[in-house]
Amino acid sequence: MFQLDFGIVSTLYPVFTTNEQLNSKYLQYQLNEGSEFRRFSLLQKQGGSRTYMYLNKLQNMILNIPKLEEQQKIGSFFQQLDETIALHQRKLDLLKEQKKGFLQKMFV
């Protein structure tokens, strides 16, 4: 899913835009990680391993959405959390490479 300033684009979801009352970062996290959307999508599942969310079904979903200020704080928090996780993952990958190099030098 790609996040834009005022909308979200996905290969599996319909393309739609948000307005000034709905923060797109918040909505992105709701659709990717939110328990309400997860429950709703499981109810739509009709066999198979993938769940496709068609626009007519998506329009029937009801989300509890806080005020815009809280949406912005939640969206920013999760974005910062994702960036922190990515940073630590890169650090871990570099440390694993360093360990591999040290082991190769030790056991020539």
Lookup result for tokens 């709701």: 30
**pLDDT tens-digit map of 1-49:** 555 555 665 666 556 678 888 888 888 888 888 888 888 888 877 766 6
Residue 19 CB burial class (10 angstroms; 0-12, 13-18, ≥19): exposed
pLDDT of residue 8: 62
What was the pLDDT predicted at 73? 94
Partners of residue 8 on adjacent β-strands: 3, 16
Q: pLDDT (tens digit, 9 = 90+) per residue, 54-79?
A: 777 777 888 888 999 999 999 899 99
Tell me the C-alpha distance between 70 and 14, whole Å.
25
Looking at residue 83, what is its pLDDT?
Answer: 94
What pLDDT was estimated at residue 11? 61
